[in-house]
Copies of this chain bind each other. A is one copy, B any other.
Amino acid sequence: MQQERPFDLLNKVLGQKVFVRLKNNFNIRGRITSFDAHMNIVLEDAEELDNGELKVKLGTILLRGGNIIFVSPA
């Protein structure tokens, strides 16, 4: 059996809501529609969160992977 790799998690949740924690206490939730090997990610219906509550609607965004701390199925 082949071992799983970390990015398989992103593949499994394509089209679903994810939560992304970025550096500097910046939190975003949205539907992941693509990603690449640098963890650059496109989110649709993205929302910036403040203490788990909606702060700003961002629409579709291309997030640079370099600022990400973790990604989690929402």
* Interfacial residues, chain A to chain B (CB-CB below 8 A): 3-10, 22-24, 26, 33-36, 39-42, 46, 58-73
CB atoms of B73 and A60 under 8 A apart = yes
Residue of B nearest to A22 (CB): B69
Q: Which residues of B contact A61 (CB under 8 A)?
A: 70-72
CB atoms of A4 and B33 under 8 A apart = yes
The 8 closest A-B pairs by CB, nearest first: A6-B40, A61-B72, A4-B34, A61-B70, A62-B71, A63-B70, A9-B62, A6-B42
Residue of B nearest to A38 (CB): B6
Q: Which residues of B contact A39 (CB under 8 A)?
A: 40, 64
The CA-CA distance from A26 to B42 in the complex, in Å, is 21
